Amino acid sequence: MAKFLVRANYSAGGIKGLMKEGGSGRKAAVHKAVEALGGKVEAFYFAYGDSDTLVICDFPDAASGLAMVMAVNASGGATCTTVPLITPEEVDAACKKTVSYRAPGA
């Protein structure tokens, strides 16, 4: 499973919809959409500041996570950014790989 942090910001129309259906209604809609793609919502929070919602979810693959974000962005009700979440074990595996790299100008 691929784990993502999805940060969303509502448009004016999205805020109107949120006020109409409430936070629980939005949470249920997100759970339904993620599960339809074979994923699972681990955490769902509303916030203020840089993001209106923060959602941590697992998807079967990166394409499913991207499909979710594209659908949300295309709706016009919110815009999303996605941050892939990497486990310590994945970092350990990356640290063990040999990379042939030359710095610019070196």
Cα 45 from chain centroid (whole Å): 12
| pLDDT tens digits, one per residue of 57-106 | 999 999 999 999 999 999 999 999 999 999 999 999 999 999 999 999 98
* Domain at 2-95, CATH from 3.40.1160.10, 3.30.70.920, 3.30.930.10, 3.20.20.80: 3.30.70.920
> Mean pLDDT over residues 6-35, rounded?
96
Residue 70 has a pLDDT of 95
Give the pTM. 0.86
E strand or H helix at 81: strand 78-84
Domain ranges of the chain: 2-95
> Mean pLDDT over residues 16-22, rounded?
95
